[in-house]
Amino acid sequence: MEKHDDTFNADAAIVWRLGAELFTDSTQALLELIKNSYDADATQVIVTIERGVKGRAGSGRIRIADDGHGMTADAIRDGWLVISASPKRAQKARGETTARHDRMPLGDKGLGRLGAQLLGDSLRLQTRPRPTAPAAAPTVEHDVVIDFSQFIQGRMLTSITPSWFTATDELPDEWEGPEPWGTVLEIDGLSGDLSWLDEQQLARRLSVLINPYRRIDKFRLTVFLDGREVDIAAISRQVRESALGRWHVEYDGAELRVRGLLRPDWFRPRDPDRLKRLQKELALPSGREELCRKIDAVGTLRDYTVKPASPPWLADVTRTFRIPQDLDDVPGKDPGPFEMELDVVSLQLAVARDASLAVFDRQAEYRAWVKQRAQVNVYRDGFVVASGFDLLRLGEAFTGGGSYYGLRPQNVMGYVAISGRDNPQLEETTNRQAFRHSLAFARFDALLSASRDAINRVLDEAGRMGSEYARELQERDHGLFGLTPDELVASAVDVEQRARSAATAISQIQRVLTTVTETACQRSRGIPTSDHGNSPPWAAEIKCSSGRIDRVRGPALERAAGPAQSAVMSPRSGKASAIAANCASASWTNARSMSICSKLSRAVVLSVRKPSSVPLSFFSRMVRPN
Ligand SMILES: Nc1ncnc2c1ncn2[C@@H]1O[C@H](COP(=O)(O)OP(=O)(O)O)[C@@H](O)[C@H]1O
Ligand SMILES: [Mg+2]
């Protein structure tokens, strides 16, 4: 019997195929090379792209020069020349950070450098290991040239020999690094579709791939395209200043803290007169305080704190969830601490009005800009982890119908910050387009959804309060003229409320109900049913506590949450039939309130959140046509 000693080998074309599948686009391939500089403890990376230059392998050249620790001969042999062998994997498993800047490496798959091959036809790697002594000059330079055209089908990987020269002591003069040590990669003969090498596109894409909201500690990336510096993050700062709302979410393993700031401009009643009136009032501290008080008093925001904020903000809202007590069935395992920031922007905002938006010439330009950036990505130590999907599922939450003023995919920009040290369990897939499913990811996902819902609840209630306040202001100015029927009812209730301060709750409710019913009946007379058959019921809601009616509002009835008893009244017969309505939220359980809702047709619908002391028949007596 004969024993064979054959080994596995690989066709050289595998390298090309791997490279093509790993990167979503050329900018991402470039980013992988930049991430290697970060992992090498570099503080400066200078990317120089020259489209016109004629090089070894064709036209166009990309140079990535860093001041990192460089590579020794062993590092080149074992790291650069062996695909998918990364020393960083074991290093991360040991929890070991880099020597100089205490960084947890971003790479560990040993594939990132294949990005070079996607970008061009030939690669030159020059590297000078950084001496350990502070003032010492490097004494070694390795110069390796790899011609990617060798990676063709039919050749074995092991038959490919890069040209590799090493100089010691007398180092060549030609060195493009920002410091005497580090690594310089030069990719020559740019290949493929070069449309990404456009100043604006490159700036936009890089400011998605590298967190545009935060600086990376001791790391500065500069990109030049044909001699001009590409402005990677500046516009983002300016647009942030124009955001109408800003949310900050912080999770530390024990608590999820949600904090939001809203600008007066965020409150935008549809009616232009009301909008103007509201903005006038919100220019005054008293107006801002009053609106904050109104928002704070909303029943469903019982667990939130709403305070006036210092300009340019109006309201400062906070909510803290203890984990797991305050979140039902939070799944999975602790993903480690993270932070999220979201900016709520407006596509309607006039560019001319806002000085911080002066970078845009036209509204259309601003809109286009926002559209391209309206996304929330996850960054690990500043570098994008997984992107291009609706992380917070804003599309879903929005089309699900729950939220009117809430976060929408088109008006939210922001980021989630995680780190290599704290969140090793949150892993991206190899193509970097999603997270791997894991217990840690399940909880991470649930915490993001809980944050989104908490934010949407505030936005919805605040939005409604803003509109209601605008209506009230207009009414203060003009009395009852020009109000819609439901607003008339609310006003009647409101006037009543202000006139009575000493009466008991029951007697007030009695009067209010009479007024409401009368107005409703008068209003409904003469309006043919078909005109309003499909329109939603209009509603007024009165909330009362301890002998005083303290709030009146007019949302659609189905928005009000909490166990309620409702009655359908016919104004003609005055007969009431009870319908059981059990709404979800617990925050109304003890609220002694009631809602009055009319269909503007033959029947008046009364939804009553009644104090237990008031019998249902009481309301039958109340609601009679005159
Ligand atoms: N700019 C650089 N400076 C120093 N070493 C580098 C640099 N780029 C790549 N390397 C070395 O080459 C190896 C391979 O890089 P890469 O293919 O991105 O895999 P990974 O980053 O996952 O280890 C790295 O582990 C590192 O040792
Ligand atoms: Mg890498």
Least confident of 255-264, 403-412, 420-429: 403-412
Segment 487-522, tens digit of pLDDT: 767 766 766 565 554 344 455 555 566 666 555 555
CB 146 within 8 A of CB 23: no
Residue 361: which pLDDT band, with cuts at 50, 70 and 90? confident
Q: What digits encode the pLDDT tens for the residues 196-211?
A: 999 989 988 998 899 8
Q: Which residue has the higher pLDDT, 616 or 376?
A: 376
**Given this model, what pLDDT does residue 207 score?**
85
Average model confidence (pLDDT) across the chain: 79
User: Could you tell me the pLDDT band of residue 374, with boundaries at 50, 70 and 90?
Assistant: confident
Least confident residue range of 127-131, 312-316, 364-368, 495-499: 495-499
110 lines ligand 1 (CB under 6 A): yes
410 and 318 Cβ atoms separated by less than 8 Å: no
Cα(518) to ligand 2 centroid in Å equals: 75
Return the bridge partners of 259, or none: 248, 318
CB neighbours of 349 closer than 8 A, spacing ≥ 6?
242, 244, 265, 357, 366
For the CA of 64, the nearest atom of ligand 1: 1
Q: How far does residue 106's CA lie from ligand 2's centre (Å)?
A: 7
State if residue 112 touches ligand 1 by the CB under 6 angstroms criterion: yes
Higher pLDDT, 336 or 358: 336
- The DSSP bridge pattern shows strands 376-380 and 383-386 to be antiparallel
Is residue 542 scored above 80 in pLDDT?
no
Q: For residue 85, name the pLDDT band (cuts at 50, 70, 90).
A: confident
Nearest alpha-carbon partner for 389 in 432, 345, 333, 423: 432
Place 317 in a pLDDT band, splitting at 50, 70 and 90.
very high
Residue boundaries of the structural domains of the chain: 13-232, 238-472, 481-622
Residue 330, classified by CB atoms within 10 Å of its CB into exposed (0-12), middle (13-18) or buried (19+), is middle
Cα(156)–Cα(152) distance, integer angstroms: 9
Cite the DSSP H helix spans in 500-608. 505-524, 529-532
Contact 171, 181 (CB under 8 A): no
Q: What is the pLDDT of residues 452-484, one digit of tens each?
A: 999 999 999 999 999 999 999 988 887 655 566
At position 344, the amino acid (one-letter code) is V
> Is the predicted pLDDT of residue 86 greater than 60, yes or no?
yes
Given the structure tokens 């996902």, which residue do they identify? 445
Alpha-carbon dihedral 422, 428, 430, 436, rounded to 10 degrees: 120
For ligand 1, pick from 39, 82, 428 the residue to mutate: most ligand atoms within 8 Å of CB. Answer: 39
* pLDDT per position as a tens digit, 92-107: 999 999 999 999 999 9
DSSP designation for 488? H
Closest ligand relative to 77 C-alpha? 1
Task: Answer yes or no: is pLDDT of 222 > 80.
Answer: yes
Report which of residues 547 and 146 the model is more confident about: 146
The ligand with the least distance to the CA atom of 383 is 2
The answer to whether residues 278 and 570 touch, using CB atoms and an 8 Å cutoff, is no
Whether residue 159 is predicted with pLDDT greater than 80 in this model: the reply is yes
HSE of 401, CA atoms in CB hemisphere, 13 A: 2
Q: Which atom in ligand 1 lies closest to the alpha carbon of residue 80?
A: 12
Cα 501 to averaged position of ligand 1 atoms, centre (Å):
75
Q: 13-232, superfamily in CATH? A: Histidine kinase-like ATPase, C-terminal domain (3.30.565.10)
